[in-house]
Homo-oligomer: A and B are copies of this chain.
């Protein structure tokens, strides 16, 4: 049962990164819970809270990114009831403003199960020095 849960959360976490790579806001819409309490901290940014503000941050990122590729490592998944938190290292290759960049970002992703489906409720990404 717990193993199944962890697999479900793992698939939801992958869906989040596929949405991120797609740079398609409609795919991001499918991943997030549309709640007042959803929150997002992009590396170096201030907190975005509430779905409209969180969504707007993704629109801004997608508009300023030409391509984005993730390879995840160090994935840790913990499930307790209807909440799951995932830690992972995002090994990123992206092109912004015409310049290819490589970066490592550590992420805390929190998911909540609503009506049997997992949705993202919090993302916190930060650069590793």
Contact yes or no, A121 B82, CB < 8 A: no
Chain B residues with Cβ under 8 A from A122's Cβ? 85, 87, 108
- Taking chain A's interface residues, is the majority helix, strand, or loop, or is none over half, making it mixed? strand
A26-B80 Cα distance, complex, nearest whole Å: 27
Chain A residue total in the interface (Cβ 8 A): 30
A86-110 interface code vs B (CB 8 A; 1 in, 0 out):
0101000000000000000010101
Chain B residue nearest in CB terms to A37: B78
The answer to whether the Cβ of A81 comes within 8 Å of any Cβ in the partner chain is yes
Q: Given A39-B87, A80-B82, A82-B80: A124 and B121 within 8 A (CB)? A: no
Q: Given A85-B110, A110-B85: A43 and B126 within 8 A (CB)? A: yes
A110-B85 Cα distance, complex, nearest whole Å: 9
Q: Which of A11-19, A44-52, A58-66 contacts B (4 or more CB under 8 A)?
A: A44-52
- Closest beta carbon of chain B to A54's beta carbon, Å: 12
Since A46-B106, A47-B106 are in contact, a sample of 19 more A-B pairs with Cβ atoms closer than 8 Å, ordered by chain A residue number, is A41-B106, A43-B126, A44-B128, A44-B129, A45-B128, A47-B74, A47-B89, A49-B87, A78-B121, A80-B82, A80-B112, A81-B81, A81-B82, A81-B83, A85-B122, A108-B110, A108-B122, A124-B124, A126-B126
